[in-house]
Amino acid sequence: MEPELAVALPAVGAACATAFKPRPRLAFASAAALGVAGVVAVILSRADLTSDQLGIPLTLSPASRAILLAAAAALAILVALPPPRADRSNLLRWGLGGLAGMTAMAAAPSLGLGVIVLLLLLVLQASGTGHRVYANRFRAPALAVVLLALAIALAAMQGPSLLTRLIVVCLVAGLAAALGVLPYMHEFDPDEPTAVSPIPWLAFVGPVLAVVVVGRAEAMVEGAEDAFGALLIGLGLMNIVVATLATWRTSSDAAAWRYSFIADWGLALCGLGLVVPDGVGAALLVFYSILLGRLPLYLWSRQSLREKATTERPINFIVAAALAGSAPFAGFPARILLLRAATSLYWPLALVLALSFLLWLPGSLRLGRTIGAPTGRQLIGVAVALALSVAFGLFPRPLLGLAGL
Amino acid sequence: MTQLLSSSAGDTFSLLVYPGLVTIGLFGLAIEVAWSVISRQAVGRPTLRWRRPPTVQVIVALLAVLAAVQFAAPFNAVPTVDRNLVIAAIAIGFTAWAELALDPELVARPGLLLVIQSCWLLSVLGPAIEPESLRPQVLGNVLVASLLPVKVASGFLYLLCLPALMRLWPLSPPAERRLRPRFNATRAMLWFPYCGLFTTLFFPPQADDLAGVIRFFGISVVAALICVVIGTVLARRGAERARGLYTRAVAPYAFLVLALIVATLALVR
Amino acid sequence: MSDVAAFTAWLGAATIVLADSRRGLAAGLAILAVGAAGIVWSQGEQGGAIVLLAGGVLASALRFTSGPDGWGLMQPGSTPRLLFVVIVAVVALWVALAATSGGSAGFRFAALTTLVLLGGRLLEAADPVVMPTAVAGVALVLGMVSGDGIVPYAVAALVTAGVSAMPVPAARRPRGT
Amino acid sequence: MPPIALLAPIVLPVAAAAVAAASSRLGDQIARIAAASGAWASLGAVAVLWIAVRSTQELSVGPLGFGVGLDLRLDGIAVVFGVIALVPAALLLTLQERGWQESTVALLAIAAVVLAIESGNMILTAVGGCTAATLAVVQFDIEDVRAARPSWASVIIPWIALAWAGVTLQIESGTAVYAAVPVSALTTQIFGLVAIAALLGAGIVPWRGWAVGMWMRPSLRVASVTAATLLPLSLYLLVRAYELGNGLFPQSWLNLVLAAWGVLVALGSAIRAQAAPSRAEYMAETVQGLAGFALMSIAIGTAVGLFAGLILLGSAALVTAALPLLPDRRGPAALLVAAAAAGIPPGLAFGGRVLGLADAFETGNAFGLVAVAGAATWLVVAAAAARSVGLPAGRRRQASDALALVAAVLGVMVLASGPAVAALASLATDAIAGVMALPIGGLAADPFSIITVSTRLPAAALFGPLLLLGAAAVALSKPGPTTTAAQSRAPLFTVPGIAVLTAMRERLRSLKVPQQYRSLFDPAAMEAVAAGGRPVLWLASLVALAVAVTR
């Protein structure tokens, strides 16, 4: 019963937050209580437990479960220490809605059902009040859904090996389009509320979606695993190089933050493409650092981004180091795992990756400055994010163990 | 501890008396007089009344004695195994720079001096590369045919560099613009280190007897006199000729010696 | 039967591609639902077919209630869309009959042609009413291709109806990046 | 001594950093006291741990999750490098005025350096080193964000290279634990990565790198602590490479190349020093010069050479601690520190250089040529030091007389400890024996002399009396006249070709895309296309991906 509850409770929580909007306290209390209950259900949904209460077997894989917990933790941090001008119940509404969808995608027995849930999430997000044209908000995720659906349809057919390779293309391109990484970047408006911007695809829903798609893809790309890995690595490298340089050089600080998420995704895609456990572990650590580091820091920087206030205080440099993936922060062990995975497969790839790690530095210095001079709850939040990053950077074993690695 | 005290006593005697401070002083005084005679300059009278010596002379003296005790001089109390060519070469090399640091008025053209000193260092250490030994007496004893060309070439380079290193060239330092000659105590303390090292490196070590002592100091005096003669000739030819000799002749010759050392190394291996 | 259903599904998707107003879009969605349900029925999933048809028809009814009035079929400037519809049909037919096997040819044709047509419509459209209609169609097709047991069909049907029930926010001029 | 105590040298500075940060509201003095206490406590912990057992101690806490365990190992060589890194760092944190933020970050950096040195495996060393390098950059920016500092990339590259070497070792031999890696696993490629880490980790390069440039900052607080910790840490990697190779590098030519590189570094530093327009710029080269000689000595590949390298690193540590304490004005302190760095006999740097050069000669072959070059470089160093006495100060820093006195005392310590070099050798024998075989008869037969292949260095018997005589004679002597700065400013010599190289570099830097082609390389336009959410681009990408995969 746990997976069903893990989906239903946050969904009901989001619904309560919406329904009780006129009474913010009640909305917050009910959504928070149901959200906590949903997280408990996720914790209780072990990989070896399959529930069939609704007529379909629902299971949470260890990796999905670990990322769901990290996403829930990120949401909890953001609700406990909300960014300036952010409404807690609104944060909860969007966060719990996303969490319910992510859990449903992760628990779904087939990729098809997962994609249907993805489609629902995309419609829900597009229905929010944003600054971008409605069609533009819709377009890229909808393309992702179509491409993934095409992959499922092609997988249901038999044919020449070319067919499997087309499935590979549809899966990888669909995943990239859903995330909004290169070459399928979503349109971005710096002034748009984060919940309806492309950021949630990159920083909240994306990790679970990637784990689900890559996990389900194994059966669909039989015989073309090499092409699947190579395509993921190729896209990953392209995203690393372009996005790190763009983070450094782009004119808008908010856009720089968006590119920095994409650059991290480059690392994750390389890790997923390397298919060995070290690569997957690296990708998971990148996901953790996105969810528990980069996303909260981005949200806490929004105020100073609006005010265009950049400072050069110690906290800015330490945040920059954390964002750059330097030791002792969480990015460094991810990079070490990636290096080992790449070296074990093809050492020139490790060389390219090692050199690419340096591209994070200039952009991260820029992003660190945009945090401004945090005070009060923001300062506590930044300190918590940095502390978590150091803890995972020095001792990531519990996180990887949680994901079954 | 007893061993330490006894060897310290021996080394202290070597530093202070033979072949150290006293020997350096007497040798230097003699050669300075000879230089003044040959170059027809009145030697300045050393002032015999006690006065505090300038720091520069003290430092130069210390470096000189440190170098001198490394020599293969007969009756040297420092055990042969304790002598080290690098210590001797570097200690002598430091003397010029002690002067620049503590009394820059005494140093003419330090840049050129550095070039010449490098050439001299090559002539001192070059012959030690193939034997792979730093014992001065071992290097003096090298008479292997295949190593002799390097030894001879290095010895010649050593003699060419010596007048410049002893400031016998006509490039007068800023402080020498006075008419009345003065006794150059600093230079006097350098005669034995340079000439003794030449004898040690390029001639077989002498036995610990009177004949050995006479031969050792005889060769050193001859080296000093050759230096004095070259210096006199340079002084007559003028500053420009001297500078030309060292920049256009000695430095290229040093490269030739280096090439010879490398070739010998390659051939012997 | 599956061949007729496949043709119907293509017709529904083609109608969604060629229509710009609520009547046309609703009709397209309904026809697509019939075609998809037919395909599912032909695979022996009668329950799923009924659920899918119900979801599609409900979505079509909801679409009928909102959006610009009229049919808006093949309005001036829609020739490229017409060509697109025909070319996709021909290519999908070749792929379904000559290049692939497994399942019925009707299923293969219907899946490929509807997904490509609806995908093309999603990329090309700018109207806030067209997008959810095309997405609802995609949900129907997703139910058709991934259904296994009644639940996936029910979920797909619910999502199809839900998407059409979503309010369409008024579009604003984009700012910033 | 329980193995868990091996954490103490790392935990103590971290705890002190926490105290320093917590006491921020109480003013910087408390933080300064905490910083000093933390650094000294770490040093004390290392000393106590070693003295209590006098043998290698190990602690394995278990896997950390990224393929390595928290393996700590305190052996002799780790103790030696720990002391060399911690003594100057502790001195500087005690004597220099620092804000609480700087003190906190400096303590964390020190803890990271100790972790890197105590680490039992290469990857953990890389983590510690990368942390220390990152925190050094943070310190530089806290101190003065406008002043020139090492680029972040340049200090991170070596540690990424080391991490790569570590994971390659894991793949090829199953482990990166120093004590467990099979000798055959240290291939030339892996050693190349370790060497890159060692050379770039402390900026040991012949040109004017960040290791020299950081000494030109208006304030030397962070530069001194960074040099004190990162220089020994970097050369420590080469020593560990000896341990991995059972006392040898994978190929003997690697020893020669590294030794030659060391001489080149020292020569480059000496050439810049002899042309320095100010004393500040001269002093900026002193540590680099010592580092070059230390590298040359360590690279020779013998126990004597390694010991000489350690002696030179020790001298560099004391000079590093003295440099930021020197006042601008000329005086005995500056003279003593310059003399100590230049290797005036019978100082510690003199003994180290003599041993290194002698060892190179006795190793034979091309090492003899390297030794001749090293000796010539030493004379250039001496000339530069002599010239520096008359140079203008070049910086406007105020240093109290008390600090100047401490600097002078440190200079005297370097100059006066030459006679003790043999005693140090007998202390370091066990440490050196842990990484390479000692010569027959050991390094030092007794605490008074050091045995090399062809000679014996009678450190106590010769240098002792010379030191006493020198001290007495200098005390009785009369200082000479002072120089005029104008004379001293002229370089002793200029290297031909330098001007041409500089001009070429400037020309390369000034190269730009011609105006008419700039539109082709407009990043903003490219970004607009990529980020515009354009379906045409997406479809084109889809086709490209399909073509790429189906070919």
Evaluate whether A175 touches A114 at the Cβ level (below 8 Å).
no
The pLDDT, as a whole number, for residue D487 is 52
The pLDDT, as a whole number, for residue B50 is 67
Give the model confidence (pLDDT) of C46-84 as tens digits. 899 999 999 999 999 998 888 788 888 888 888 888 999
Position A74 pLDDT exceeds 70: yes
CA proximity to B158, closest of B121, B190, B192, B105: B121
Give the model confidence (pLDDT) of A152-178 as tens digits. 999 988 888 889 999 999 999 999 999
Per-residue burial over B198-209, b = 16 or more CB atoms within 10 Å of its CB, e = otherwise = bbbbbbebbeee
Pairwise pLDDT comparison (C77 vs D378), residue with the higher score: D378
% of chain D with per-residue pLDDT over 70: 97
| Residue C172 confidence class, pLDDT cut points 50, 70, 90 | very low
The pLDDT, as a whole number, for residue A372 is 85
Of D66, D157, D550, the CB nearest to A165: D550
Is D66 within 8 Å of A184 when comparing Cβ atoms?
no
**Is the minimum CB–CB distance between D253 and chain C shorter than 8 Å?**
no
3-state secondary structure of D450: strand
| Helix%, strand%, coil% for chain A, nearest 5 | 75, 0, 25
Interval A25-29 mean pLDDT: 90
Distance from CA of B62 to the nearest CA of D (A): 6
Position B47 pLDDT exceeds 70: no
Give the model confidence (pLDDT) of B117-164 as tens digits. 999 999 999 999 998 999 998 888 888 888 899 999 999 999 999 999
Q: Which residue of A has its CA nearest to C103?
A: A157
Tokens linked to A123: 């419609």
The pLDDT, as a whole number, for residue C114 is 94
Give the model confidence (pLDDT) of B160-212 as tens digits. 999 999 988 776 665 554 445 567 788 899 999 999 999 999 999 988 899 99
**Using a CB-CB distance cutoff of 8 angstroms, which residues of chain A are in contact with residue C132?**
123, 138
Of A165, A358, A394, the CB nearest to D64: A394
The pLDDT, as a whole number, for residue A335 is 95
**Using a CB-CB distance cutoff of 8 angstroms, which residues of chain D are in contact with residue B79?**
456, 458
Distance from CA of C148 to the nearest CA of D (A): 29
Give the model confidence (pLDDT) of B59-116 as tens digits. 999 999 999 999 999 999 999 999 999 999 999 999 988 877 766 665 667 888 889 9
The pLDDT, as a whole number, for residue A158 is 87
Angle between the N-to-C axes of helices D279-300 and D303-322, in degrees from 0 to 180, rounded to the nearest 10 = 160
For chain A, give the mean pLDDT. 90
Tokens linked to A336: 């070490």
Interval D412-429 mean pLDDT: 92
The pLDDT, as a whole number, for residue D447 is 80
Interval C29-34 mean pLDDT: 94
Evaluate whether A163 touches A157 at the Cβ level (below 8 Å).
yes
Position D356 pLDDT exceeds 80: yes
| Residue C169 confidence class, pLDDT cut points 50, 70, 90 | low
**Using a CB-CB distance cutoff of 8 angstroms, which residues of chain A are in contact with residue D530?**
182-183, 185, 242
The lowest-confidence range among A3-12, A41-50, B165-174 is B165-174
- Cβ-based neighbours of A201, under 8 Å, separated by 6 or more: A141, A178, A179, A180, A186
Evaluate whether D92 touches D139 at the Cβ level (below 8 Å).
no
Specify the residue for token string 């260092």. Answer: B121
Chains C and D touch (3+ CB pairs under 8 A): yes
Chains in contact with D, where contact means 3 or more Cβ–Cβ distances below 8 Å, are A, B, C
The pLDDT, as a whole number, for residue B106 is 58
Give the model confidence (pLDDT) of A335-366 as tens digits. 999 999 999 999 999 999 999 999 999 999 99
The pLDDT, as a whole number, for residue D167 is 95
D203: left (phi over 0), alpha (psi -120 to 50) or beta: left
Chains A and D touch (3+ CB pairs under 8 A): yes
Pairwise pLDDT comparison (A48 vs B5), residue with the higher score: B5
| Residue D300 confidence class, pLDDT cut points 50, 70, 90 | very high
Of A123, A129, A150, the CB nearest to C166: A123
The pTM of the full predicted model, rounded to 2 decimals, is 0.91
**Using a CB-CB distance cutoff of 8 angstroms, which residues of chain D are in contact with residue B101?**
335, 385-387, 389
CA–CA separation, D347 and D366 (whole Å)? 28
The pLDDT, as a whole number, for residue D352 is 96
Pairwise pLDDT comparison (B237 vs A391), residue with the higher score: A391
**Is the minimum CB–CB distance between D531 and chain C shorter than 8 Å?**
yes
Interval D176-180 mean pLDDT: 91
Q: What is the ipTM of this complex?
A: 0.88
The pLDDT, as a whole number, for residue C112 is 92
Q: Which letter does DSSP use for residue A129 in this model?
A: -
Chains C and A touch (3+ CB pairs under 8 A): yes
- Beta partners for D73? D58
Position A397 pLDDT exceeds 80: yes
Numbers of helices and strands, H then E, in chain B: 11, 0
**Using a CB-CB distance cutoff of 8 angstroms, which residues of chain C are in contact with residue D539?**
123
Interval A279-290 mean pLDDT: 95
Is B11 within 8 Å of D389 when comparing Cβ atoms?
no
The lowest-confidence range among B1-15, D513-527, D534-548 is D513-527
Give the model confidence (pLDDT) of D58-81 as tens digits. 999 889 988 889 999 999 999 999
The pLDDT, as a whole number, for residue B35 is 83
Instruction: Compute how many other C-beta atoms are within 10 angstroms of the C-beta atom of residue B37.
Output: 12
A-C contacts at Cβ under 8 angstroms = 160
For chain C, give the mean pLDDT. 87
- Nearest 5°: phi and psi at A373? -115, 85
Interval B17-35 mean pLDDT: 91
Evaluate whether B150 touches B130 at the Cβ level (below 8 Å).
yes
Distance from CA of A122 to the nearest CA of C (A): 10
CA–CA separation, D520 and C54 (whole Å)? 55
% of chain B with per-residue pLDDT over 90: 49
Interval A60-68 mean pLDDT: 93
- Cβ-based neighbours of A357, under 8 Å, separated by 6 or more: A325, A335, D156, D160
- Cβ-based neighbours of B2, under 8 Å, separated by 6 or more: none
Position D290 pLDDT exceeds 50: yes
Interval C124-139 mean pLDDT: 88
B71: left (phi over 0), alpha (psi -120 to 50) or beta: beta
Evaluate whether D299 touches D410 at the Cβ level (below 8 Å).
no
Position D480 pLDDT exceeds 80: no
| Residue A290 confidence class, pLDDT cut points 50, 70, 90 | very high
A-D contacts at Cβ under 8 angstroms = 153
| Residue D350 confidence class, pLDDT cut points 50, 70, 90 | very high
Interval A377-387 mean pLDDT: 92
The pLDDT, as a whole number, for residue C175 is 39
% of chain C with per-residue pLDDT over 90: 53
For chain D, give the mean pLDDT. 90
Of B54, B100, B269, the CB nearest to D387: B100
Instruction: Compute how many other C-beta atoms are within 10 angstroms of the C-beta atom of residue A163.
Output: 18
